[in-house]
Chains A and B, each alone.
Chain A
Amino acid sequence: MISAAALTRRAAPVLACAALLAVWQIASLALKSDSFPTALEAIRTIPDILGDQESLINILASLRRMAIGFGIAVLVSIPLGLLMGRSRAVAAFFNPLLMVIYPVPKAALMPIIMLWLGVGDITKTLVIFLGVSLPVIYHSFEGAKAVEEKMLWSGAAMGLSPLQRLARIVLPAALPEILTGCRTGLVLALITMITSEMIARQSGAGNILFNALDMGQYDTVYAMIIIVGAMGICLDAAFERIRARLVRWSEPQFDMPLSFS
């Protein structure tokens, strides 16, 4: 049997979405503006978009860039962050570099990257990579720094080499923190994905959105916002499930069931 508390927890996101749509519907009916379709109109447009082959290809291309950018960023950032956390020299070298890059909006770098690499997949994937890297590096770094030294000593006494200790002690010990960074990175991947397609308008979900805006197809604009938002929510929820599974051994911590981005 599901307890009342569990039921409330599961129903909460659904209720929140429903409330949001209701407010939207009422506001739209009250304002009666051409550029502000009702929630129902927007939702009715979604099947049209997803049924259209070209739109679907565009959206899938976006997701593919996002997956590649996110994947490479995670593969590079975790080892780098862990090394920084365990080696003062590595941290001293990369920290200033990252401090400079950190506050720069990655999308602001796009014009330069476009000049070098064009407006194609590589540029957009690179921007996603940059957006995801920093939170993952930062959290891996913090996680690695916090690993108890005695744990590493215990490993050393068992005969683990420094590299084995990094992979088999620091990595698992820092995993909860690393995955927190990855979760932030995933949301940032979606944000930079859309942003990059707004700047380099050639293909992708962001492109559909802004083309529709240019042509005054407001139903499509709002429908795309719902689609992108739903993608974010689903990706985040899926990731959270995996995360919770991987770090079940660590202390329970308070967490929102979903993060809305």
Chain B
Amino acid sequence: MKVVPSRSSEWVRPVTSQRPASTIIEIDRVSQVFQTSARKDHLALSDISLTIEEGAFVSILGPSGCGKSTLLYIVGGFVSPTTGAAKMKGQAITGPGPDRGPVFQEFALFPWKTVLGNVMYGPRQQGVRANEAEVQSRALIEMVGLKGYENFYPKELSGGMKQRVALARTLAYHPEVLLMDEPFGALDAHTRTRLQNDLLNIWERDRKTVLFVTHSVDEAVFLSDKVVMMSKSPGRIREVIEIDLPRPRRRNELLLDPRYQKCVVDIERMFDESDKVGSPS
């Protein structure tokens, strides 16, 4: 995927083959406290440290309320952590930026724009000329499987189609990292598996770094190189698991693969154990 050079340094940087092990995101002892009432504080994230390598597909997996979204928002720069810091390529994250593209469970499309208008929005904002942005956007719309829907408004689309538009809209401005917060959580099971497959296909083409939040164990295992398991109250990292399943992954093959099944069962067992040992309330 083409990267629009926005800083002069990108012109001079030599074209090197991507080193697989270079860190792109670093989360350094991040804690997040929310004031729930005048006197009560809620520790949503406690001392989270995590590094994410360039080109990796990393899932954050945990029960609802364990702070997955909050962690993602901190990386996105939408929320600033109470203590600690998140860094992108060594630079402290102080706010949102086009290098980190979010995809939300709620789609958050611009309802007054057509599909094409939504996808073109980012490139146009970045100063790409209208006709060039349109050509790129049409190609992306085709890539996410929505050819023919360019002039539809979001309200005319199903949930799955909306999320495809949201993905295309984010890919359109070439973020280096995709931040996906339970993107398929609002979809029915069938649509969900189709989008998982399509997301993997798209990802396997250009291996963009993805930080993917989910509470579904098989979704995490199916998609990821690495699964970060979180536990609740306070939100902590329990375990980081490498998923060494071969790529490209095909869902129908993987479901029959004993290694996949073992991964899923192992992770589920770990969550069960922590539930038993966890607070008696």
Contacts and interface: CB of A to CB of B under 8 A. Distances in A.
Summarize A's interface: helix, strand, loop or mixed.
helix
A249 interface: yes
Interface stretch (A91-99, A146-154, A200-208): A146-154
Contacts of B97: 157, 159
Interface in A162-217: 169, 172-173, 175
A95 to B, nearest CB: 21
Contacts of B78: 153, 156
B44 to A, nearest CB: 17
Contact of B96 (A153, A172, A247, A250): A153
A32 to B, nearest CB: 57
A250 B113 CA distance: 10
A250 B154 CA distance: 9
Interface stretch (B57-65, B120-128, B200-208): B120-128
Nearest to A151: B108
B235 interface: no
Interface residues of B, number: 29
A68 B102 CA distance: 44
Contact of A158 (B106, B113, B125, B155): B125
Interface residues on A, range: 10 to 19
B29 to A, nearest CB: 25
Contacts of B154: 249
Contacts of A158: 98, 121-122, 125-126, 173
Nearest to B155: A251
Nearest to A175: B112
Interface of B: 76-78, 95-98, 100-102, 104, 106, 108-113, 121-122, 125-126, 153-155, 169-170, 173, 175
20 contacts: A150-B102, A150-B104, A150-B106, A151-B108, A153-B76, A153-B78, A154-B104, A154-B108, A156-B78, A156-B96, A157-B96, A157-B97, A159-B98, A169-B110, A173-B112, A249-B112, A249-B113, A249-B154, A250-B111, A250-B112
Given A151-B109, A156-B78, A173-B111, 13 more contacts: A151-B110, A153-B76, A153-B102, A154-B104, A154-B108, A157-B170, A159-B97, A159-B126, A249-B111, A249-B112, A249-B153, A249-B155, A250-B111
